[in-house]
Amino acid sequence: MRTQVAIIGGGPSGLLLSQLLHQRGIDSVVLERKTKDHVLSRIRAGVLEVGFVNLMREAGVAERMDRECFIHDGTVISRDNASFGINFKDLTGSHVVVYGQTEVTRDLYEAREAAGGRIVYEVEGVGIHGADGDAPCVTYMKDGAEQRIDCDFVAGCDGFHGVSRQAIPLGVRREYEKVYPFGWLGILSETPPVNDELIYASSERGFALCSMRNEKLSRYYIQCSLSDSPEEWSDAAFWEELKRRIPEEAAERLVTGPSIEKSIAPLRSFVTEPMRWGRLFLCGDAAHIVPPTGAKGLNTAASDIHYLYHGLVQHYHDRDDEGIERYSERALARIWKAERFSWWMTTLLHRFPDQSAFDRRIQAAEVAFLRDNRAAQTVLAENYVGLPY
């Protein structure tokens, strides 16, 4: 088999890149380890920057999102029982869009299939060869037989646990990581959201987040110990703890119900450099991870795809390699700003096991300054709605 761009990973990064390239007449093949149903069964976040939305529009995949999404002009921050709003619209003129990543991925799959896109599911043993030369290829096993794809470029969109990052030699790769001493216990419930906008709650008992997918589907998180397991948390215990961490007026109107999904995610900051090695380009979680506090996971994948897509178009249409030559530099410049914001939001709002009384006072002062200072709120808002590509 031959293609122009071999894409490893059929998550949002790989699918969005494949669809954007297709729109510009550039051929790709997507190799996905799991089945489509498995990929679509994953529960992920749901806050999209306008930059991501614009990419979906450019990919011709925004119709259902435009119909079903929620526009959020702000968010709520609370500490113990006091809360205040951050008005994105007033502070930046922009907003965020609430639309589940699962739906984004579903829309992208439908678009690729409608366009006759080549997606190979349930591949095994993917290997990347010759990425540092002029004629890379990708091999994989499918139904017990080895297959080979000759290509011009390889896009590693295979997430944190994929093989692409490992294809960059250890002597070339530099990795930066911070692991947080807690996790997020998240549930999905078929209940109306407790608030029109998200509530990021910081309390003596720990962090909590009130989010949503639509007017009948809510997503809640509480900070938990890394030694916890979802099975240890009954629904009743979860709701009780959530109510103790969010403002009383929200706790009083909270509609509880059975969880239809319950899971614990660890929190980490991670970046690998460079994000390019020869004709191999890393995108999304394959190259970087953020703690979910800043809602940047999918949105950092989006800017990688933006830079790589335009670089490949420049290569094929203009015979100009400036974009692909500068991919890693440009992608990392924005990634590190998103890493900083995600780290800052996490540090601001969570209860750290080793915090001293002084540390807690500093944290409270930081939240109070954010509450009272327009410039501080503008910094949060500019980062939350998304820094420019």
Residues contributing to the site for ligand APR (CB under 6 A): 8-14, 31-34, 39, 44-45, 101, 123, 126, 157-159, 161-163, 284-285, 297-298, 301
Tokens, residue 256? 């509880």
Judged by CB under 6 A, the residue of 9, 10, 14, 46 near ligand PHB is: 46
- Of 55, 6, 99, 58, nearest to 302 by C-alpha is 55
99 vs 307, beta carbon nearer ligand PHB: 99
Annotation marks residue 200 as catalytic: yes
By the 8 A CB rule, do 7 and 31 touch?
A: yes
Binding of ligand PHB by 187 (CB under 6 A): no
216, HSE (Cβ side, Cα atoms, 13 Å): 1
**Element at 278 (helix H, strand E):** none
Q: Measured from the CB of residue 362, what is the shortest distance to ligand APR in angstroms?
A: 29
Pattern 239-278, ligand PHB, x by CB under 6 A: ----------------------------------------
Q: Which of ligand PHB, ligand APR, none has residue 293 at its interface (CB below 5 to 8 Å by kind)?
A: ligand PHB
Structure tokens, 43: 């529960």
**From ligand APR, ligand PHB, none, which one binds at residue 112 (CB under 5 to 8 Å depending on kind)?**
none
**Contact residue for ligand PHB among 164, 259, 293, 303 (CB under 6 A):** 293
Report the distance separating Cα 304 and Cα 18, nearest Å. 13
| Options 109, 140, 327, 384, the catalytic residue | 384
Which residue's CB is nearer to ligand APR, number 105 or number 363?
A: 105
Give min distance, CB of 126 to ligand APR, in A: 4
Marked catalytic residue, from 95, 262, 296, 306? 296
Instruction: Tell me the residue number closest to ligand PHB, measured at CB.
Output: 211
The token duo for 270 is: 């991670």
Q: Which among 48-56, 139-147, 290-298, 375-383 is the span making contact with ligand PHB, rule CB under 6 A?
A: 290-298
CB 341, min distance to ligand PHB, A: 11
Each as own residue / partner, the long-range contacts of residues 317-325 (CB below 8 Å, 24 or more positions apart, any chain) are 317/24, 324/153, 324/276, 324/281
Residues in a beta bridge with 138? 128, 149
Signed CA dihedral, 297, 298, 301, 307: sign only:
negative
Are the beta carbons of 197 and 74 closer than 8 angstroms? yes
- Tell the smallest beta-carbon distance from residue 44 to ligand PHB (Å): 7
- Catalytic residue of the set 200, 220, 221, 327: 200
Look up residue 55 and give its two tokens.
Answer: 């990419």
Which of 275, 289, 331, 305 is CA-nearest to residue 56?
A: 305
Q: Which residues touch 241 (CB under 8 Å, ≥6 apart)? A: 205, 208, 222
Q: Does 315 bind ligand PHB (CB under 6 A)?
A: no
Q: Is 318 exposed, middle or buried (0-12, 13-18, 19+ CB in 10 A)?
A: exposed
Indicate which single residue of 3, 211, 299, 363 sits in contact with ligand PHB (rule: CB under 6 A): 211
Minimum distance, C-beta of residue 347 to ligand APR, in the bound complex (Å): 19
Q: Are 136 and 130 in contact (CB under 8 A)?
A: yes
Q: Choose, from 292, 306, 315, 327, the residue flagged as catalytic.
A: 292
Q: Is 129 in the active site? A: no
Which of the listed partners (ligand PHB, ligand APR, none) does 159 bind, with a CB threshold of 5 to 8 Å by partner kind?
ligand APR
Question: Nearest Cα to 163, choosing from 154, 172, 171?
Answer: 154
Contact between 117 and ligand PHB per CB under 6 A: no
Report the candidate in 209, 187, 254, 218 with the shortest Cα–Cα distance to residue 70.
218
Amino acid identity for residue 273 in this structure: E
As a whole number of angstroms, the distance between CA 88 and CA 96 comes to: 8
Nearer to ligand PHB, 31 or 69 (CB): 69
Would you please indicate which residues are annotated as catalytic (active-site) residues? 72, 200, 292, 296, 384
Q: Which residues bind ligand PHB (CB under 6 A)?
A: 45-47, 198, 209, 211, 219, 292-293, 295
